Structure 1
Amino acid sequence: MGITARGIGLLVAAVVLLGVGFRFAYPELTLLGAAAGAAVCYAALTAAWRPRLTVSRRADPDRVARGEAASMTLTVRNTGRLRSANLLAEDRCGDRAVPVPLLRLRPGRDTELRYDVPTYRRGVVPVGPLRVTRRDPLGLVALARPYGDTVPVWVHPRIHPMSAVPTGAGRSLDGRVDGVPHGSITFDSLREYVVGDELRRVHWRTSARVGELMVRENVDTSLPRIVVLLDNRSAAHPGRVAGTAESFESGCEAAASIVTAAHRDDLPVLLLLVAPEPVDTAASSDVPGRGSRAGGAATSLGGGDPVGGSGGGPLDRLAAAELSADDEALRAATTRLRQERLGDTLIFLTGPGGRAELGHVGALRGAYQSVVVGVFGAPEPTPAGAAGLVVIDATDGAQFAAEWDGVRRW
């Protein structure tokens, strides 16, 4: 409960009037002091009465790409028997307050408010709770209470279309990836016999039916797996404008685009962060998934998870990704990647500050068939063939997608 400046002044006046009235035997001053004290007590009792309100929210939609429109519909219903007069309410939407009209809301009635959710920045926008302030008619005491839960709106990175997805040394199980090598594991098709083919590969039943020798064509199959390593170290993204590192935002857009392209082609993809993010227990309690990423430099953000959805998919986790002050985490991350060999294609996305440490990533070429590096926001191009890697320089996610589709050999 908070007493206003007017209430403090009246309370001080009540004490002074009562003291002077009793000290010098002035009944008029005593009566005025008692009236002032009674007014403050009445104001406290009035403000302490808790209105019975139910609050519901509906985000439309609750997951959007950066810059897309999103709105929140707030419904407040008076479930009490008395009229909830003189109420001031405001809803928290990110870092701003949205006023909600609740004056003289009748019992059994509700009021609805719809407002836009800011999506100009990638992240998780917490909406709520509704803060209702109860005041007395004289404005002496004000008491604020929260109503309703906090609902997150996930602002995903922008996704840029990509037509090509590297597959490394592995091939798809059903042969959908071009360039499948001949082998001896899984049947793929039948073809006519040519000189040099082994007779044990002749399919005699089909040969008898068509009247010429037909040979089984087999393929060596394994499941390709793409590993996307996003550099979230502060040292890798030194340039910041209004607290936002655009090179990191571009890296998030590139990671989201790669994950979406791989999901479109039914290829497994694993999304990793270089550095663990600090967990704020006070803030993470209101945002699903925020408290589950501590514990290692190569914490997984997605392993074949759906691209979207409410199960904490890669795009949700990219929306919640933040820069970390652990600037020495790249060595530990590359060590784990070398030891565990999590895939056959590695894609490393970093900023201008990460170019000096590309040697750590280049050392993984023995463990991964293809290693691709995306550098964002560098003032000059990365030297060609740096550490023997395929390097793509880009200013933003859109340029990275265009350059990506121009790569002819992974």
Structure 2
Amino acid sequence: MLVASAIAFIAAYALGFRQLLYVAVALAALPLIALAMVRMHRPTLSVTRSFSPHVVEAGSAATVSLLVHNLGASRTMRATCWDEVPWVESGTSALELPVTQPRSPRFSRRSSTARLVYDLRPPRRGIFPIGPFVVQLDDAFGFATMTYRVGVTQDVIVTPEVVVLAETGLSVSAGDGESRLVQRRSSGDDDDSMTREYRTGDAMRRVHWRASARHGDLMVRQEEQRSFPAARLILDTRGIGYEDLSGDERTGEFDSDSFEWAVRMLASVAVHLRRFGFLVTVEESGSPQLEIDISRRHHRLDEEFLAELAELRLTLSSDSAPNLSGSMEKGRGSNGPIVAIVGAPDGQTLEWMISQRRPGDVAVAFLVQAVSAIDSDGRSPGVRESSSLAATTTRLVNAGWLVIPVRSDDDHAAVWEAVVFETGRSRVTD
């Protein structure tokens, strides 16, 4: 429009057509007037944002409700708006902000407020700032566009994805023999009728009266002797243990697809075992970050634990090494199964893992290999990495561990099925 105005202005004098001067002025005035209009109609807004649910699982959707209040003395223009999010450069999908009346006694509060709703789908775990709210004003002719940021950011907690896992054939040792990792508690189950003789210290509520009448002596349910078996989970949080580690050492922010896979597996296994009655404890190879004790029985404990996992980060080896030396206490086992999720552990981490297992404990180790370390043919890029993985596997197997090598793009449920198969096969062999 401005170029056309300049051409018309020159032509008006060159050709002697005064009428072209009016055209030139109109062509120049329209964009300037449009620019002035969008600047003069800058809105004065406040934004209230709420999430449902407030804690979101990675990959799932949350509903975000926005209440936009007009605090200005004039009504707002119809505009396009969206929320800025850290994982999409252009922000969320654009919404239409309707015209709202000014905040004054002449208009009701409803007329000065607009309610907007959109779905938020975070792709990964973490605590992310949502916002600020962005308003884009356009004039009627599309000559001018201005963007305004309104309000402040608000954090949303994104927990790791929890995958539903199958029952396993793992077992734990108990005073009455061997009991399954996943125990059935439904009434009427044949396992519930398995009884033994009453022993001093047994609770009277465990007495099986029908079996007692049949045997002539007090009998108690054998199943209930392991009502709350224990399990331990080990996670390698040292950056040195993951080959695909990337990030800035100055900021302390590191990324690793292998570590993200490990965190999702940790969350899935912890929730899975707790739902089947296990008292679960978590050990970190690096400096402790998880403060919550998930070995307690509490119905909201899973949510709190997953919220802590949203903030779990890799640590530098130099920071985490002292914690390793202080944790190498042999015989700290739980007399139950141990599940370790690691990448490519160094010698110190490996020895620490092995020291956590007591004789007779069932121990499973997932060794996570980065996809970036595998070429297009699915083969390892070098002999050095293969020999290191083989040496780690051999060391763990010789120490009594079941080793499951995985890739960072493997399905968690399918990997857990491998545990079901291998432990089931070992039980048949025994």
TM range (shorter): 0.5 to 0.7
Cα distance in 1 for residues equivalent to 2:220 and 2:299: 38
Cα distance in 1 for residues equivalent to 2:45 and 2:58:
37
The code of the aligned residue for 1:371 comes to: A
**Superposition TM-score, scaled by structure 1 size:** 0.62
Q: Does 1:344 align with 2:348?
A: no
Alignment of 1:5-404 (within 5 A): 51-59=44-52, 61-84=53-76, 90-96=82-88, 97-98=91-92, 101-102=96-97, 105-107=100-102, 108-130=111-133, 146-147=150-151, 150-164=154-168, 166=170, 168-169=172-173, 184-186=200-202, 188-189=206-207, 206=213, 213-217=216-220, 223-239=228-244, 244-276=255-287, 297=288, 299-304=290-295, 313-326=304-317, 329=320, 332-333=323-324, 335-336=326-327, 338=329, 341=332, 343-345=334-336, 346-354=338-346, 357-366=349-358, 369-377=361-369, 382-383=393-394, 385-395=397-407, 396=410, 397-404=412-419
Which deviates further from its counterpart, 303-312 or 392-401?
303-312
User: Would the alpha carbon gap of residues 310 and 216 (structure 1) be closer, same or farther in structure 2, given more than 3 Å must change?
Assistant: closer
Q: Distance in 1 between matches of 2:99 and 2:365?
A: 61
Question: For the residues of structure 2 that align with 1:90 and 1:265, how far apart are their CA atoms?
Answer: 43
- Contact kept, 8 Å, 2:333 with 2:358, in 1: the verdict is no
2:105 counterpart residue number: none
Cα offset, 1:161, TM superposition = 1.4
Paired with 2:285 and 2:117, the residues of 1 have a C-alpha distance of 39
Higher mean C-alpha deviation, range 364-373 or range 388-397: 364-373
Q: 2:154 is matched by which residue type in structure 1?
A: T
CA apart distance, 1:247: 1.7
Q: CA RMSD in A?
A: 5.0
Structure 1: how far apart are the matches of 2:84 and 2:115?
Answer: 16
1:373 shift after superposition:
1.8
1:233–1:323 contact (8 Å) kept in structure 2: yes
Q: CA deviation at 1:362?
A: 1.0
Aligned 8 A contact 2:331 2:358 in 1 = no
**Could you tell me whether the CA contact under 8 Å between 1:123 and 1:154 is conserved in 2?**
yes
Residue 110 of structure 1: CA displacement?
3.0
Higher mean alpha-carbon deviation, 261-270 vs 120-129, is at: 120-129
Cα distance per residue 1:353-401 (max 9 Å; x no partner): 4577422211222388343322112755623714332222222323321
Whole-Å separation in 2 of the counterparts to 1:323 and 1:215: 54
* AA in 2 matched with 1:237: Y
Partners of 1:78 and 1:84 within 8 A in 2: yes
- Give the percent of matched residue pairs that are identical in Structure 1 and Structure 2: 17
**Per-residue displacement from partner, 1:48-101 (whole Å, max 9, x unpaired)?**
998252423334x44444333344332312244432459886522224434565
Q: Aligned partners of 2:132 and 2:195: how far apart in 1? A: 55
- Distance in 1 (CA, whole Å) between partners of 2:210 and 2:77 is 88
Contact 1:157 1:256 in 2 (8 A): yes
Deviations 1:296-344, CA, capped at 9 Å, x for gaps: x364444246899699622222232222223563662474373794733
Taking the aligned partners of 1:308 and 1:100, their CA distance within structure 2 comes to 38
Query: How far, CA to CA, are the matches of 1:373 and 1:85 in structure 2?
Result: 60
Instruction: Give the superposition deviation at 1:237.
Output: 1.3
Q: Return the letter of the residue paired with 1:376.
A: V
- Alignment-derived partner of residue 18 in structure 1: none
Q: In structure 2, what is the Cα distance between the partners aligned to 1:53 and 1:190?
A: 65
Q: What is the identity, as a one-letter code, of the residue corresponding to 1:270? A: T
In the alignment, structure 2 segments of 5+ residues that lack a partner are 1-35, 103-110, 185-190, 248-253, 371-379, 381-385
Q: Compute the displacement of 1:150 (Å).
A: 0.3
How far did residue 252 of structure 1 move?
1.5
1:153 deviates by 4.3
Deviations 1:115-168 (A, max 9, x none): 443433233333123256999xxx9xx996642550404142241313138563
341 and 359 in structure 1: CA distance in 2 versus 1, 3 angstrom threshold: closer
Q: 1: CA distance between counterparts of 2:302 and 2:256?
A: 28
Amino acid at match of 1:405: V
Q: Secondary structure at the match of 2:202?
A: strand
